[in-house]
């Protein structure tokens, strides 16, 4: 974990007064860009297939959050960096400091972002997929900048989000829904 702490402190140390409001907003609200992107597709095309794509994309997003937040976080029980007094003193947490007992693995933001990005890649191809996955990684990294996750929380979230999106994709194609 020493290497992980170094990475966290590096990203957290990039703090700049002009960047804090932008990254703070992205950290708190950025994950919803994927839901809005799916709504935009539905609004622009308005076909039954596009409605199913948007619906199933939302399902992948919320299913991944459910698995992350309700199933895995309590099972893993890993405290956030702010749960360790020695590390909390070194961090410059942007926004509200999570309670000392708050768990962080996997990152719900990283999970949901990657689920949305993977869904976009599966349904709209590699060009949009690469853009969406790049955005998911950048949005997830904001959680290091604000000081509330370890890097491995993000990596586990990315893997989980991708697996949830792939699972929902396969299920909905199998079900023909």
CATH of the domain at 130: 1.10.606.20
Q: How many domains is the chain partitioned into structurally? A: 1
Could you tell me if residue 104 is inside a domain? yes
Binning pLDDT at 50, 70 and 90, where does residue 2 land? low
Average pLDDT, the chain: 90
Residue 97 · residue 87 · CB < 8 Å = no
Residue 111 · residue 161 · CB < 8 Å = yes
Could you tell me if residue 1 is inside a domain? no
Could you tell me if residue 2 is inside a domain? no
Least confident among 45-54, 66-75, 99-108, 149-158: 45-54
Structural domain of residue 142, as residue ranges? 16-175
Give the span between the Cα atoms of 105 and 117, in whole angstroms: 20
Q: Give residue-wise pLDDT tens across range 73-129.
A: 999 999 999 888 888 888 888 888 888 889 999 999 999 999 999 999 998 899 989
Q: Helix (H) and strand (E) counts for the chain?
A: 9, 0
**Residue 23's CB: how many other CB atoms inside 10 A?**
22
């Amino acid at each position: 974990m020493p290497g992980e702490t170094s990475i966290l402190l590096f990203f957290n140390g990039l703090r700049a007064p002009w960047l804090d409001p932008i990254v703070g907003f992205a950290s708190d609200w950025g994950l919803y860009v994927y839901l809005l992107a799916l709504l935009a597709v539905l609004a622009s095309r308005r076909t039954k297939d596009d409605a199913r794509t948007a619906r199933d994309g939302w399902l992948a997003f919320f299913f991944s959050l459910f698995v992350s937040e309700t199933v895995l976080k309590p099972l893993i029980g890993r405290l956030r960096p702010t749960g360790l007094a020695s590390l909390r003193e070194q961090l410059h947490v942007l926004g509200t400091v999570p309670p000392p007992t708050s768990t962080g693995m996997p990152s719900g933001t990283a999970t949901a972002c990657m689920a949305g990005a993977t869904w976009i890649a599966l349904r709209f191809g590699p060009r949009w997929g690469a853009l969406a996955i790049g955005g998911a990684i950048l949005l997830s990294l904001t959680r290091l900048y604000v000081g509330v996750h370890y890097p491995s929380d993000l990596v586990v979230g990315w893997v989980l989000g991708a697996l949830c999106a792939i699972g929902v994709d396969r299920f909905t194609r199998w079900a023909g829904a």
